[in-house]
Structure 1
C-alpha cells in the first residue's frame, strides 16, 4: 500500500515496528501510563518518531476522542493520553481515575520535596515520618479524607491508615510511571510533573484546602 493512500491517522502502521509495538503502546496509554525514555525506551522511540507522533495523535483524536500529549520536564519528554480533562472520549471506564486521597498524597509529596525544599528525599519511610511529625494538620485531614473513601475501612485516627494510603499511592504512581521505587528507596520521574501541571492551583493553595 502506498504511503499517500493511507490517511494520516493510520500512517504509523507503515513503521516496521508497529506490528509488535503498537498494541503494547496502546494498552499502556489507555491504562494511564506515561511513556518516557528511561522507563519504556522502545515505546518511547517508536512514539517520538516525528511521523509516528503526528499520526498517532491524529489516530487518538479521531477514533477515541482523546488527546495524545507531549510534555517536557528537566529536558526529558514524556507522552500520555489526557484523561484528567473532563472529556474522556470513547474510552468509557477503562481508565480508573485517581481517588482523592491518592491525589492528596501526590500533592503532599510535591509539597514536601519542592515547596518545603526536601529535594534530596528518597525514603518512603522518611516521607511518612514527615507527614506524621512535621505536618500534623495534614495528617488529620488525610485521615478524614480516607475515611470517606468507600475503599478504605481503617480507623481514620490510626497511623496505619496513613501508611496504607502512602503505600497505595506509590503503587499507583509507579503504574502511571510518575515514580519508581525499590524497597524503601524511591525517585520521582519526569512525568511526576504531570500532577503539578494538572493541579497547580490546588497545590499552590494546599494549606487552605487542608485546614482541619
Structure 2
C-alpha cells in the first residue's frame, strides 16, 4: 500500500497523492477504458485495493475528464469496478478503446448464467463440459439456441451445426476473459464476481428466455 493519508476534501485528482499511483494508475486506467472489470482476483488484487481506497476521487476523475462513470457493484469479496457511459453519451473514449460484446457472445453468456446460477451447476468449470452440456443436456432449448445464434450471425439456422456452436462458445469465453467476467486458463475457467453484470444489463432476457428462444416458424 502506498504512503497515502486520506483527507476530507476529496477531488478528482486526490488519488494521485498516493505513492502507489505511479506504479498502478496506468494499469488501472488502461484496463477500465478497455472494458475490463476489476475485482479481488489474483493479479488484480493490487489494482483492486487501489480502486477501493480511492473510489470517490477516481469517480470524479472519470466523470470530469472523460464524461464516463466509474461504478462499483457487489459487496465484500464479490465487489468489482468498471466504467459505464452516461445516458446518450459514449464519453471521451476513442472507439479503439471501447469493448463491445457481439450478440452471439451475449447469448452464450445467457446460457452460461442459466446453467450455473439458475439450474445450479456451480461445479461447471471447463469449456468442453460447457459445450457438451449445451449439445446434450439442453435438448429442449437447443433449437432455440441455434436459431438465436444464427439470427445474431445473420445466417440461416441450417448453417449453425454443432461444431460452429462449439466455436462460438469458445470465442465467447475468450471474450469474457478479456473483460474480466471469467478467468480462463487453457480449457478451464472460473466465473468471477463481475459476471453478475450480465443479469444487471440483460435481466429481462435471462429471466424470460422463452422470449428469445421461441420458435418463430411455429
TM over 0.5: yes
Cα distance in 1 between the residues matched to 2:11 and 2:135: 53
Q: Report whether the alignment pairs 1:198 with 2:201.
A: yes
Cα distance in 2 between the residues matched to 1:78 and 1:157: 35
Cα distance in 2 between the residues matched to 1:112 and 1:73: 23
Is the 8 Å Cα contact of residues 142 and 162 (structure 1) preserved in structure 2?
no
Cα distance in 1 between the residues matched to 2:21 and 2:167: 40
- RMSD of aligned Cα (Å): 2.7
Cα distance in 1 between the residues matched to 2:111 and 2:76: 21
When residues 114 and 150 of structure 1 are mapped into structure 2, their CA distance, relative to the original with a 3 A threshold, is closer
SS at match of 2:36: coil
Provide the TM-score with structure 1 as the length reference: 0.86
Cα distance in 2 between the residues matched to 1:13 and 1:74: 25
Q: Which runs of 5+ in 1 are unaligned?
A: none
Q: Report whether the alignment pairs 1:131 with 2:134.
A: yes
When residues 84 and 59 of structure 1 are mapped into structure 2, their CA distance, relative to the original with a 3 A threshold, is closer
Is the 8 Å Cα contact of residues 131 and 169 (structure 2) preserved in structure 1?
yes
Q: Report whether the alignment pairs 1:43 with 2:47.
A: yes
Any idea what the Cα deviations from partners look like across 1:18-47, whole Å, max 9, x if unmatched? 112111110000111111121401111111
Q: Which runs of 5+ in 2 are unaligned?
A: 1-5
Is the 8 Å Cα contact of residues 123 and 184 (structure 1) preserved in structure 2?
yes
SS at match of 2:68: coil
Is the 8 Å Cα contact of residues 77 and 190 (structure 1) preserved in structure 2?
yes
Provide the TM-score with structure 2 as the length reference: 0.84
| Length, aligned pairs only | 207
Q: Report whether the alignment pairs 1:110 with 2:113.
A: yes
Any idea what the Cα deviations from partners look like across 1:88-132, whole Å, max 9, x if unmatched? 222142212111110000000010112112122222212111111
Cα distance in 2 between the residues matched to 1:85 and 1:130: 38
Is the 8 Å Cα contact of residues 131 and 166 (structure 2) preserved in structure 1?
yes
SS at match of 2:82: strand
Q: Report whether the alignment pairs 1:96 with 2:99.
A: yes
Cα distance in 2 between the residues matched to 1:109 and 1:136: 15
